[in-house]
Amino acid sequence: MKILSTLLLGLFGAGHAQAANNCTIALKGDDAMKFDLKEVTVSASCPTITVQLSHPGKMPAAAMGHNVVIAATKDMDAITRDGIKAGLPNNYVNKADPRVIASTKVIGGGEKTSANFPGKKLIAGGDYTFFCSFPGHSMLMKGKLVVTK
């Protein structure tokens, strides 16, 4: 029993060490208007952070489209409001908005997309949120982006 718990501790320890240097934000957004994760941890020391989004649903982008926007939590509401004005042709993001740290295009069921940004755009310990800026979705489709050094 003692050996087993030591082994488990070892596994958990390794898992945490890996998470500390994570450079990928991988999310799924489905027809139920949900992301599969509520929290993702990335490192500000990553030269490049990759945002990966897949939509395992069936509904088209115009009806149940999803994107991923990375921003400071305090900017989420304003970015979402401006994104609605920008519309679907602009992926519900105002491209000139300096508050948007990163964003993917809007995809529908069966599609995948990704976007990259430098880790240095994030500050370790900062208050960041990932969310979908499709109108009405950020109420449910959001999560905490934890940033380590």
Site for Cu ion contains 53 (CB under 5 A): no
CA distances from residue 56 to 32, 46, 51, 96, 135 in whole angstroms, order as listed: 10, 28, 16, 30, 20
Using the Cα atoms of residue 29, residue 25, residue 120 and residue 141 in order, give the sign of their dihedral: positive
Q: Which region, judged by CB under 5 A, interacts with Cu ion, from 19-27, 73-81, 82-90, 135-143?
A: 135-143
- Give the max Cα distance, the chain: 60
Query: Which CB sits closer to Cu ion, 43 or 94?
Result: 94
Site for Cu ion contains 55 (CB under 5 A): no
- Whether the Cβ atoms of residue 83 and residue 92 lie closer than 8 Å to each other: yes
- Which of 54, 75, 134, 143 is the binder for Cu ion (CB under 5 A)? 134
Site for Cu ion in 58-77 (CB under 5 A): 66
Number of residues interacting with Cu ion: please give it, by CB under 5 A.
Answer: 5
* Contacting positions for Cu ion (CB under 5 A): 66, 132, 134, 137, 141
